[in-house]
Structure 1
Amino acid sequence: MSLDTVKNATETPDASQPWKELGLKEDEYARIREILGRRPTGAELAMYSVMWSEHCSYKSSKVHLKQFGEKAPQNDAMLVGIGENAGVVDVGQGYAVTFKVESHNHPSYIEPYQGAATGIGGIVRDILAMGARPVAVVDPLRFGAADHPDTRRVLPGVVAGIGGYGNCLGLPNIGGEVVFDACYQGNPLVNAGCIGVMKHEDIHLAKASGPGNKVILYGARTGGDGIGGVSVLASETFDDTKPTKRPAVQVGDPFQEKLLIECTLEIFKEKLVAGIQDLGGAGLSCATSELASAGSGGMRVELDTVPLRDATLSPEEILMSESQERMCAIVEPQHVDRFMEICEKWDVIATVIGEVTEGERLEIFWHGEQIVDVPPGTVAHEGPVYNRPYARPSWQDALQADDAGKLARPQTSEELRAQVLALVSSPNQASKSWVTDQYDRFVQGNTVLSQPEDAGMVRIDEESNLGVAMATDGNGRFAKLDPYTGAQLALAESYRNVAATGAKPLAISDCLNFGSPEDPDVMWQFAEACRGLADGCLELGTPVTGGNVSLYNQTGDIAIHPTPVVAVLGVIDDVNRRTPMAFSEAGQLLYLLGDTAEEFGGSAWSQVVHDHLGGMPPKVDLGREKLLAEILISASRDGMIDAAHDLSDGGVIQALTESCLKGGNGARIVVPEGLDAFTFLFSESAGRAIVAVPRSEELRFTDMCGARGLPVARIGVVDGEEIEIQGEFTLPLAELREAHETTIPALLA
C-alpha cells in the first residue's frame, strides 16, 4: 500500500477514508477538511480522531466544566490550575504538591489486570511530568453486584493490577474506595489518583518553545498495544455482547516505569528540559500536538526514528499507539548529550525524533515524505464543542417521591440488632482488608495514615514533619437521586474526611463518571453535578485544580449511576499531631458532633435491608461542613481529641464499628435525647463526626464547640469488649469482627 502523503492528499481529494470507523462524526470530518483546505492524510486523520475523541477533547463536557474556572474561589495556595497534566498547590515551607485523579474504566473491564495497572502507570507519569516525585497513589473503585460471577473475574484482576504496578514502583497506596452496585455490572469504574511533591522552582509545564530545541522521545519502545484506546475504547458505549477490544488495552511494565521515574527526576535535577509531556491517551498524537500548541513555534518530527517493538507498525498506528512508560522532552541542543548520558545510565532508550521550528505548523515526516502538516492547536485544543441537549429525566420526580423514610423499620431491639449486623457485614460496609492487604501501604516509610482511615496521609519533610492528606469519595446512589446535591455530598464527605485527620483541606481534583452524553437524561445529570461541584467548591474555598471526565459508561442502554468522584487534598503542619480513627484507650469520652435528622434516601440501610433506592439524599450545609472542619482541625492541633471518624455511609453504627474494631475496644453508647435508636444508628445526615475526647480535655473541647456554635452531644464512653446501645442490645466485638471481616473473602473465594 502506498504512503498517503500530504502531496497525495492534495491530489486525491475524493479518496475514501475510514473516518467513521475511527470514531469521527460526518460533520467533524468535514471540519477537518475545512481546517486543512484538503482531505487529511491517513496520519492526520488518525491524529484528529484520537485528539477529538470524547476522552481527549472533552467535547461534550467543556461547556459545563468551564464553571470550575468561572466560579473558582480565590485561593493563594493555587500554583498551577486546570489545563496542565495535573494541578499544583503550595503547601508551605517551599514545597508544592501536585495531584490528580483519572479513569481507566473500559480497559479494566476488558483486561482487568492490565487496564488497572496501566491506569496507575498513566496517572503516575502525569504527576512526574509536572516535575514532581510521585509519593503515593489512591484507587477509588466501583464494581457490579458483589455476588455476580463477573465481579469475581474483574475485581481480583483490577486489585492485582493496581497492587502489582504500584508495589513495583515503590509507591504506597494510601486510600480509595471499593463500592459494589449492580449498575456497574458491565462497566466497572477504575479511577486512579497520585500525589507528587517538589519544590516551587521545580515545576515543569508541557510546552515546546525555542526554535532549534530538540524533541526527545524516551522510555519504552512503541508497540501495537493501546492503539485507538481513547477514541475507540474510552469514547463509546459498550455493546454487552462484544466487550472484547483487547488490542486497545495497553500493556504495562512497572520496572521500566521505575527506571523512567528515576531517570526523569535526575534530568529535572540538572535542569535539562525546557518542556515535557508524558505519553498517555492518544500517545504521540497528543504529546506532539499539545507541546507544539502550548509553545511559541511549530515542530518537525521524523516519525521513522521512533524506536519500535513491532517493525510492521504503520505511521498511523505509531501516532495512535498508547504504549506505556514513554515521555517526550524538549531539550536545548547544548543539553542533549548530557540528557542522553543520564538516559543511558538508567537503561532508558532515548531518541531525538525532531525539533522545535520557527513556524506555526506541526510537520511529521516518514522516511523523508511529509505525512502531517497541521496547525497543532486545531488538533490539541480546538476540537468540536457540543452543547448536547439535556433535560430533567421524566422518571426523576417519581424516584424522589419514593421516600425511603416510609420503609418498614425494626420494631424490636432484636430486629434492630439483626439489621446492624446485616449492615456492617454487607459488601459495601464490610472490611476491605482483602483488597488493601494486597497493596504496599507503607513503602518509603512516610505513610502515617492509610486505609481504612478517613484519609491517607504521608509525611513530605522528615525534619519538619510537614504532611499532606488525601481522601476520595463519591456516592452514586445520592447522585442518582439528585445529581446537584450528590456532587456536593461527595465534596463534603471528602472534605470532612481530610479534616477528621487534622489536615486543612486546600483543593480538589475530580473524576466525573457518567453514561452516554448523547442521552439527554445523562447530560442533565452531568450538568447538575458540575453545577453542584462548582458551587460547593466556591463556598468551601477549595478550587478544582484539574481532573478527568469519563463518559459512555454504560452497557447497551443502561447507564451507571452518575458517579462524580471527588479527591480533596489537605495539608498538616506536623503529622505527629494527626488524628486516627481508632478508639485506642478505655475511658475516652465519645461525642457526636453535628445534627442528626431522619435522612435515609440512598442510605446504606435502605439498600441493605430493603434493596431500595428512592427519596431525597441528605441535605447539604457547607457552612456547617466548614465549621465542623475547623473544630476537628483545631482539636487535633491542640491535643483535645484522641480519635475522630466522619459519619457517612452506614451512619453512627458503621463509624462505631470501624473505630471500635480498629482500636480493639468496645463502647457503651446512650441514644441522645430527641432521637430514637433507629434514627440515631442509621441516619446518614451530613456534617457530622464522632470524636473520642480524653477526660482531661472534655471541658475545653465542649467549650470550644459551644463558643463556635457547633452542636455537640456526649453519647458514651470507650469501654469493654462489646458495643452496647443502652436499652437496646449489645454486640461483642468478636461477633462484630466476624461479621465485618469475612464477607469479602467469602465472596471472592
Structure 2
Amino acid sequence: MSEIGSTPFSAEEIASEGIKPEEYQEIVNRLGRHPNKAELGMFGVMWSEHCCYKNSRPLLSQFPTTGERVLVGPGENAGVVDLGNGLQLAFKIESHNHPSAVEPFQGAATGVGGILRDIFTMGARPIAILNSLRFGNLEDAKTRRIFQGVVEGISHYGNCIGVPTVAGEIYFDRAYSGNPLVNAMALGLMETNEIVRSGASGIGNPVLYVGSTTGRDGMGGASFASSELTDNSMDDRPAVQVGDPFLEKSLVEACLEAFKTGAVVAAQDMGAAGLTCSTSEMADKGGVGIELDLDLIPAREPGMTPYEYLLSESQERMLFVAQKGREQELIDIFHKWELQAVVAGSVIAEPVVRILYQGEIAAEVTATALADDTPIYHRELLTEPPAYAKEAAQWTTDSLPGCDYQGIDVQGTYKTWNEILLQLLDTPTIASKQWVYRQYDHQVQNNTILLPGGADAAVIRIRPINAKLEDCTIGVAATTDCNPRYVYLDPYEGAKAAVAEAARNLSCVGAEPLAITDNLNFGSPEKPVGYWQLANACKGIADACRELSTPVTGGNVSLYNETVDSEGNPQPIYPTPVIGMVGLVPDLTKICGQSWTKEGDVIYLLGNSNYVLGGSEYLAAVHETVAGKPPIVDFELEKSVQNACRYGIRQGWIQSAHDLAEGGLAVTLAEACIGNSLGATVNISVSESQRLDEVLFGEVASQIIVSVSPKRINSWETYLDNQLGNCWSKIGVVSQPRSALKILTNDNLSLINVKIIELAITWSQAIENRLVF
C-alpha cells in the first residue's frame, strides 16, 4: 500500500486514471502533497465527466428546475414530483453507453439495475422502466450483435426483478455504428412518509454497507464512460459491471422496509465510482465527513487493495447513515432478506473522506474536493455554426428530382408513392419495434394500461400500497424522445423539438406534461464543434422547458461518445439529448391510443401544414441525404394543439390520437391504420408552392392526427374553431376493416392506395427480417 505523501506519479500513470496534467497539479495543491494510488484513483473517477460534469455543469445551470409540482430537483438520486392526493412520483434517466458497446448484455442489464437503484434509494417502489436506444445499420453484423445483446440484457434484468418495461424508442443510423446509446429511465411511487435524501448527518452516526459483496468488476467504470471508444476498448471489459436482478429484488424490499422504520438518516446508491462516490457525496451534501474501514467491507475476492475497493462498481450495493443505536434493527432486516449488512464506518465532524485499511489510513481527502469543488471548464463557444451545419442549411428541395401524382425518380429508378411509403415502413427506425418489446414483460405488476406499440406514450395505473384495483383512477404517462438528425442539423431547434415532441406524445394519451429528466449524449466537448452542439442543445432544452412549464428534475450527461477509427480519426455520434418526460392522467377512463377504433369515425388534422423535408426520414432513407433545416417549433401553436388534444380526449370526443413524426403524414396515417386493421380515406390539400413528397412525407412540429365519432363532431368542431382558429382541418374518414389506406388530393387524384395487410406485413417484419442471415 502506498503511503500518504508518496512520490509523484508518472505522466502515463496520471493519464491512465483519466486525469490531465494540470488537474494532477491541482490535486497536489489541494492535498499539500502527492496523492497515493488509492487517492489518485478516487480523484480520477470523481473528476471524470461522468461524475462531476466538468464540461457541462455551466450549461446545465440554465435549466429551469422548480415548479409547483417539483418536490425534489437535481442533486439527489432522482427527481420527485407531486401527483396530488398524497401521491409522489420519483423518476430519472441515465446512460450505460460505453459498457454496452463492449459487453452489450451486461452493459444494458446493469444500466437497468442502476437506474432502478436511483429510484428506490429515494424510498419509492419502482413501477416502470423505459429506454432510449441508438444503434448503427442493422445490415452490419457487429450492430446486430450489439442490438440483440442490449435487448436481451434489458429484458433479463427487468423481467427478473419484476418491473415492467413499458415504452421506449429506437433509432438506427450509421452515426452510432461504433458507439451505441443505451439510456434507461425508471419511475417509482413513493412508499415512505418522507423522501429519503443522501446527505449524511449526525456526528457519530454509524455508516452501514448493505446489499451485495464487493469484487473487482466494474473497475474504473466512471472513467471508462468518460473517454472515447477505440479499437482497444474491448480490453476495458473489466470496467463493465455484472448484475444480479434477483439479488436487487431483495434489495428493493429490504431498503423499503428499512426506510419505513425511520432509522435511516441518509441513503446513497453505489453506482458510478462505487464507495468513492457514495462516501464523498453523502459527506459533502451533509457538510460532514465519513470514516470508512475497508477491512469491514464484505468482499467476494481475496487480496483486494484499497484502490480496488474504492473504484469497484460491483452492483446491488448501498450505503446508509443510520441513527445511532438502531443499526442492529437495520442489519436484521437485511439479513432477513439474505443480504450483507455491516457497520463499516461512522459520520465524523471533520469534512473529509477518511479510508482505513489494515489499521492505517489508506486515503484522506476533503469531501468537497471530490464531490463539489471539482474542475469546471468554461469553453469558448463558436460564434457561428460550423461548416457542416452551414452547408446543410443551404440545402433546398430544388436539388431533388421533380415529382408527379404517381411518384418520383430515385437515383435513376422511378418509384410510386405506394412504393416509397412501404420503403419507409420497412426502415428500422420507423418499423414496428415488436421484436424488441415482446421480449419485455410489460404487464408485470398489472398496472400497465396502454401497452408498448399501442400509443404515443405509456400509461401506468398509480396504485398506492394496499389500494383496491377499482379505487385507482389516477395514472401517469411517460415517454422518451429525441430526433438526433434534427439536433445534428440544428442543435438549438432540434433540442426544442425533442422537448415539444415528448410533451405532445403525453398529450396524445390525455396526460398533462409535468416535468422532464434528460440524458445528454454527445461527442467530445473539448472539440469546438462538439461543444457548440452541446451548448446550443442545452439552451434549446432550457427554452422549451420554460415554454411548456416542464422543469428539469435531474438527468445524466454522457460525453465523449466517439469512436476512434484505425487511422486515429474521431467519429462522433449525432448529438442526442434524450428527453424523458412524465405526465399526469387524472382519469384513466379518459385516455386513448394511436390506432383508429371504429369504422366511420372522422379524421382531423390539428396544427399547420408547413411540412419540411429537411432532416426528414424520407430524405435520409430514400434520397440518402442528411441536410436542410429541421422543423421549427411554434410554442404558442404547440401549446394550443396539445391543449385541444387533451381536452378532446377528456371530453370523450377523441377516439385516437397520434402525433406526426418520422415519415410524415403518410406514415402517421399508416401507423394509425395498422393497429386495429382499419383503413382510411383521406383527402389532403396541396398548395402551388408545395411538392407532393413534402406533403406526404415531410415533417413538421405541432401536428396531431385524431379520430372523432360522427356523433361528436359538432361539439368538437365548435371547440376547434374557438381553440385553434384555422389551424385544423377535417381530412377523412376511417374505413372498414382490412381495407386500404387511400390518400387523395382535394380534386380526388389518387396518391397512395395500399391494402392494410401489405402495410402491416412490411412494417411488422422489417427488423426481424434483418436479423435472419
**What is the rounded CA distance, in whole Å, between the counterparts of 2:320 and 2:69 in structure 1?**
28
- Tell me the matched-pair count: 739
Change (3 A) 1:222 1:420: same
Asked if the contact 1:702–1:712 (Cα under 8 Å) also holds between the matched residues in 2, the reply is no
Amino acid at match of 2:124: A
**What displacement does 1:554 show?**
0.8
Residue identity (%): 42
Asked if the contact 1:259–1:346 (Cα under 8 Å) also holds between the matched residues in 2, the reply is yes
SS of 2:393 mapped into structure 1: helix
**What displacement does 1:468 show?**
0.6
SS of 2:132 mapped into structure 1: strand
SS of 2:67 mapped into structure 1: coil
Q: Identify the residue that residue 423 of structure 1 maps to in structure 2.
A: 424
Does 1:517 pair with 2:518? no
**What is the rounded CA distance, in whole Å, between the counterparts of 2:421 and 2:10 in structure 1?**
64
Asked if the contact 1:504–1:572 (Cα under 8 Å) also holds between the matched residues in 2, the reply is yes
**What is the rounded CA distance, in whole Å, between the counterparts of 2:437 and 2:241 in structure 1?**
24
Does 1:393 pair with 2:409? no
What is the aligned counterpart of 1:408 among 379, 391, 401?
Answer: 401
**What displacement does 1:694 show?**
0.6
Amino acid at match of 1:642: Q
Note the 1:536-685 alignment, pairs <5 A.
536-556=544-564, 557-672=570-685, 674=687, 677-685=692-700
Q: CA RMSD in A?
A: 1.5
Q: Please give the per-residue CA displacement for 1:461-510, whole angstroms capped at 9, x wherever unaligned.
A: 34232111111111111011100000001111111001110000011110
Amino acid at match of 1:684: E
Asked if the contact 2:507–2:513 (Cα under 8 Å) also holds between the matched residues in 1, the reply is yes
Note the 1:487-498 alignment, pairs <5 A.
487-498=495-506
Note the 1:697-716 alignment, pairs <5 A.
697-710=712-725, 711-716=727-732
**Stretch of structure 1 that moved more, 39-48 or 118-127:** 39-48
SS of 2:160 mapped into structure 1: helix
Asked if the contact 2:125–2:191 (Cα under 8 Å) also holds between the matched residues in 1, the reply is no
Change (3 A) 1:628 1:305: same
**Stretch of structure 1 that moved more, 449-458 or 667-676:** 667-676
Amino acid at match of 1:714: K
What is the aligned counterpart of 1:291 among 273, 279, 282?
Answer: 282
Asked if the contact 1:653–1:682 (Cα under 8 Å) also holds between the matched residues in 2, the reply is yes
Q: Please give the per-residue CA displacement for 1:31-54, whole angstroms capped at 9, x wherever unaligned.
A: 111111111122211111100011
Change (3 A) 1:241 1:307: closer
SS of 1:287 mapped into structure 2: helix
TM-score calculated relative to the size of structure 2? 0.94
Amino acid at match of 2:732: G
**What is the rounded CA distance, in whole Å, between the counterparts of 1:581 and 1:471 in structure 2?**
14
Asked if the contact 1:263–1:343 (Cα under 8 Å) also holds between the matched residues in 2, the reply is yes
SS of 1:624 mapped into structure 2: helix
Change (3 A) 1:527 1:355: same
Change (3 A) 1:199 1:254: closer
Q: Identify the residue that residue 174 of structure 1 maps to in structure 2.
A: 166
Does 1:725 pair with 2:743? yes
Does 1:34 pair with 2:32? no
Asked if the contact 1:582–1:662 (Cα under 8 Å) also holds between the matched residues in 2, the reply is yes
Note the 1:233-252 alignment, pairs <5 A.
233-240=224-231, 242-252=233-243
Q: Which runs of 5+ in 1 are unaligned?
A: none
**What is the rounded CA distance, in whole Å, between the counterparts of 2:9 and 2:180 in structure 1?**
40
Q: Identify the residue that residue 309 of structure 1 maps to in structure 2.
A: 300
Amino acid at match of 2:26: R
Q: Please give the per-residue CA displacement for 1:650-689, whole angstroms capped at 9, x wherever unaligned.
A: 1111111111111221111111364765333212111000
**What displacement does 1:199 show?**
5.4
Amino acid at match of 1:548: N
Asked if the contact 2:493–2:540 (Cα under 8 Å) also holds between the matched residues in 1, the reply is yes
TM-score calculated relative to the size of structure 1? 0.97
**What is the rounded CA distance, in whole Å, between the counterparts of 2:69 and 2:548 in structure 1?**
14
Q: Please give the per-residue CA displacement for 1:226-273, whole angstroms capped at 9, x wherever unaligned.
A: 001111x11111113544311000001110111101111111222221
**What displacement does 1:419 show?**
0.8
Asked if the contact 2:76–2:197 (Cα under 8 Å) also holds between the matched residues in 1, the reply is yes
Q: Identify the residue that residue 346 of structure 2 maps to in structure 1.
A: 355
**Stretch of structure 1 that moved more, 548-557 or 12-21:** 12-21
**What displacement does 1:389 show?**
3.2
**Stretch of structure 1 that moved more, 444-453 or 14-23:** 14-23
What is the aligned counterpart of 2:212 among 220, 243, 258?
Answer: 220
Amino acid at match of 2:709: P
Asked if the contact 1:672–1:713 (Cα under 8 Å) also holds between the matched residues in 2, the reply is no
Note the 1:493-508 alignment, pairs <5 A.
493-508=501-516
Q: Please give the per-residue CA displacement for 1:575-594, whole angstroms capped at 9, x wherever unaligned.
A: 12111112111111110101
Amino acid at match of 2:543: D
Asked if the contact 1:404–1:606 (Cα under 8 Å) also holds between the matched residues in 2, the reply is no
SS of 2:574 mapped into structure 1: coil
SS of 2:326 mapped into structure 1: helix
SS of 1:667 mapped into structure 2: strand
Q: Identify the residue that residue 413 of structure 2 maps to in structure 1.
A: none
Q: Identify the residue that residue 370 of structure 1 maps to in structure 2.
A: 361
Asked if the contact 2:686–2:692 (Cα under 8 Å) also holds between the matched residues in 1, the reply is no
Amino acid at match of 1:383: T
Q: Identify the residue that residue 457 of structure 1 maps to in structure 2.
A: 459
Asked if the contact 2:403–2:692 (Cα under 8 Å) also holds between the matched residues in 1, the reply is no
Change (3 A) 1:451 1:736: same
Note the 1:733-748 alignment, pairs <5 A.
733-748=756-771
**What is the rounded CA distance, in whole Å, between the counterparts of 2:398 and 2:85 in structure 1?**
50
**Stretch of structure 1 that moved more, 329-338 or 57-66:** 329-338
Asked if the contact 1:95–1:200 (Cα under 8 Å) also holds between the matched residues in 2, the reply is no
Asked if the contact 2:217–2:240 (Cα under 8 Å) also holds between the matched residues in 1, the reply is yes
Amino acid at match of 2:167: G
**Stretch of structure 1 that moved more, 194-203 or 12-21:** 12-21
Change (3 A) 1:517 1:554: same
Q: Identify the residue that residue 55 of structure 2 maps to in structure 1.
A: 60
Amino acid at match of 2:56: S
Q: Identify the residue that residue 23 of structure 1 maps to in structure 2.
A: 18
**What displacement does 1:410 show?**
3.9
Asked if the contact 2:403–2:691 (Cα under 8 Å) also holds between the matched residues in 1, the reply is no
Asked if the contact 2:93–2:518 (Cα under 8 Å) also holds between the matched residues in 1, the reply is yes
SS of 2:678 mapped into structure 1: coil
Note the 1:676-695 alignment, pairs <5 A.
677-695=692-710
Q: Please give the per-residue CA displacement for 1:85-125, whole angstroms capped at 9, x wherever unaligned.
A: 11111111111111111110010010000000000000000
Amino acid at match of 2:611: E
**What is the rounded CA distance, in whole Å, between the counterparts of 1:97 and 1:155 in structure 2?**
31
Asked if the contact 2:264–2:321 (Cα under 8 Å) also holds between the matched residues in 1, the reply is yes
**What is the rounded CA distance, in whole Å, between the counterparts of 1:252 and 1:154 in structure 2?**
18
Asked if the contact 1:43–1:315 (Cα under 8 Å) also holds between the matched residues in 2, the reply is yes
**What is the rounded CA distance, in whole Å, between the counterparts of 2:188 and 2:402 in structure 1?**
47
Asked if the contact 2:82–2:89 (Cα under 8 Å) also holds between the matched residues in 1, the reply is yes
Asked if the contact 2:492–2:538 (Cα under 8 Å) also holds between the matched residues in 1, the reply is yes
Q: Which runs of 5+ in 2 are unaligned?
A: 408-415, 464-468, 565-569
Q: Identify the residue that residue 165 of structure 1 maps to in structure 2.
A: 157
Amino acid at match of 2:378: N
**What is the rounded CA distance, in whole Å, between the counterparts of 2:728 and 2:405 in structure 1?**
28
**What is the rounded CA distance, in whole Å, between the counterparts of 1:409 and 1:443 in structure 2?**
52
